[in-house]
Each structure stands twice: as C-alpha cells, then as structure tokens.
C-alpha cells in the first residue's frame, strides 16, 4: 500500500471537521477537570471527616483505574442503572472526573508548596482567610501548579482518541470510519498522528513560555 495524495486531499475536510470535535472535547473536558479538580481539592482539605474521607476515597479510586474502563462503565454500564447519557456527555464527564482527580493533586501540591510561614505572615498582619488566599497564597501557588496543569492539558488532548470507543465523532473515530468505508487506513491514521503532533508540540512549547513569563511577572527569578 502506498501513500495517495489525492485520497488524503479528499478526506482532509472530514479530518479537519473531526479535529474541531477533538479540540472541543479536549477543551470542554479540560474545563470540567480544572473546575472539578478545585472542588475535589477543597473537599479533601476541609476539616470535616464526613466530607474529606469520601472525597479522598473517590480520588484514590478514580486515579487507580484506567480511563478507558471508566468510559465504558459510564457509557455502557450506567444506563443499566437508569443513568442514560449521550456519548458526548458521558465522555466529557468521565474525562473531566478522571483528570479532575489528577488536577486536584496538582493543586494540593501547589498549595503545599507555599511555605506555611506565608500564612503566618498574613495572620500577623490580620488578613482574613479569603484575602490571604486571593492575594498571597494563590498567586504563589499558581506558578507551581502551572507545569502540572499544562501537562494535563496536553494529556487530555492526547487521550481524546479513547472517546472513539464510545462513538464520539472525534479524529480517531472519523479515521476508523474512513478506513471502514474505503479500506484505506494508511492516510487517515497517518493524518491523525500528524494532526496530534502539530497541535501538541506548539502547545507544549507555548506552555513552557507561559510558565517562564509567569515566573518573571511574579518577581521570583533574577534577571
């Protein structure tokens, strides 16, 4: 089997349309994960055992099972218990939850990375807890969280092909469909790989630059 440019050219519009869906899935999944991660982190940090214990268990559980199994569970098993979700909804919620647990750990590490003495300085200046978080703790935790947050953005993007297994019409799903229709697999899958590459690489580079810029803006580095 040899590469056929005219075929690649012919399927390009469908591939690009699917790329849009992949980006949408990654974006929506990441947004859910970023917010849910925050909720999970706060849940783990509350002093109330009735809340923090179950949240910790949930995070542990989700982190120790594969995303694909979770996807299948939510999409194929949950309906048997009366919870029927569309492929998109199931996919976005599952990715959001899965990566939310990872992000909650990123946030936790970032908060713990701010020295306890910063809290004490705030208390000695009689700041309220809310103000302490807003003006002192979060601005210092953010640069610490940024690399981890960036990695999981790229991570979610690269895991979106799993959504093909439950029928979300993203890149991988479209490539599968094209292969089944035309019996040509070389061009669709090569294009999938290439599209992932040309999106991932610049994104990762952009994130590194952002990290450096944030560190500079914080005055944490000498220049």
Partner 1 sequence: MDTTHPQVLPEGSPLVRFSGVTKCYGPLTVLDKLDLDIAQNEMVSIIGPSGSGKTTVLRVLMTLEKINDGVIYVDGEPLTHMPKAGGLTFSTERYLHERRSKIGMVFQQFNLFPHMTALQNCVEAPMQVLGLSREDAEERALNLLELVGMGEKKDQHPTRLSGGQQQRVAIARALAMRPKVMLLDEVTSALDPEVIGEVLNVIRSLNSEHNLTMIMVTHQMGFAREISDRVCFFYEGKIAEQGSPEQLFGDPQNERTKQFLHAVLDAS
| Chain residues in the site for partner 1 (CB under 8 A) | 115, 117-118, 120-121, 123-128, 131, 135-136, 139-140, 218-222
Q: Compute CA distances 1 → 4, 98, 183, 185, whole Å.
A: 9, 39, 11, 9
User: Least separation, in Å, of the C-beta of 211 and partner 1?
Assistant: 15
* CA nearest neighbour of 94 among 107, 115, 77, 111: 77
Helix (H) or strand (E) holding 180: helix 171-182
- Which C-beta is closer to partner 1: that of 63 or that of 216? 216
- The residue (of 182 and 220) whose beta carbon lies closer to partner 1 is 220
Taking the C-alpha atoms of residue 106 and residue 85, their distance in angstroms, rounded to an integer, is 29
Q: How many Å apart are CA 154 and CA 143, to the nearest integer?
A: 17
Nearest distance from C-beta of residue 117 to partner 1, angstroms: 5
Helix axes 87-112, 49-63, angle to 10 degrees: 110
**What's the CA gap between 157 and 123, in Å, rounded?**
41
Q: Which is nearer to partner 1, 13 or 219 (CB)?
A: 219
Give me the least distance between CB of 123 and partner 1, in Å please.
6
Nearer to partner 1, 140 or 176 (CB): 140
Which residue's CB is nearer to partner 1, number 7 or number 127? 127
CB of 159 to partner 1, least distance (A): 33
CB of 45 to partner 1, least distance (A): 17
């Amino acid at each position: 089997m040899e590469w056929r440019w005219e075929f690649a050219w012919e399927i390009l519009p469908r591939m690009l349309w699917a790329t849009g869906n992949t980006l949408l899935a990654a974006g929506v999944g990441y947004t859910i994960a970023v917010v849910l991660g925050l909720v999970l982190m706060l849940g783990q940090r509350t002093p109330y055992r009735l809340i923090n214990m179950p949240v910790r268990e949930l995070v542990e559980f989700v982190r120790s099972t594969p995303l694909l199994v979770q996807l299948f569970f939510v999409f194929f098993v949950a309906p048997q218990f009366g919870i029927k979700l569309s492929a998109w909804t199931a996919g976005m919620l599952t990715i959001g939850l899965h990566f939310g647990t990872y992000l909650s750990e990123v946030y936790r590490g970032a908060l713990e990375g701010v020295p306890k003495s910063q809290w004490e300085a705030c208390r000695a200046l009689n700041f309220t807890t809310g103000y302490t978080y807003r003006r002192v703790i979060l601005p210092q935790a953010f640069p610490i969280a940024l690399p981890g947050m960036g990695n999981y953005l790229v991570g979610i993007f690269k895991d979106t092909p799993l959504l093909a297994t439950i029928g979300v019409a993203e890149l991988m799903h479209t490539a599968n469909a094209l292969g089944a229709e035309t019996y040509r697999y070389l061009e669709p899958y090569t294009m999938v790989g290439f599209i992932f590459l040309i999106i991932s690489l610049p994104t990762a580079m952009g994130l590194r630059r952002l990290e450096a810029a944030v560190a500079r803006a914080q005055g944490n580095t000498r220049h």
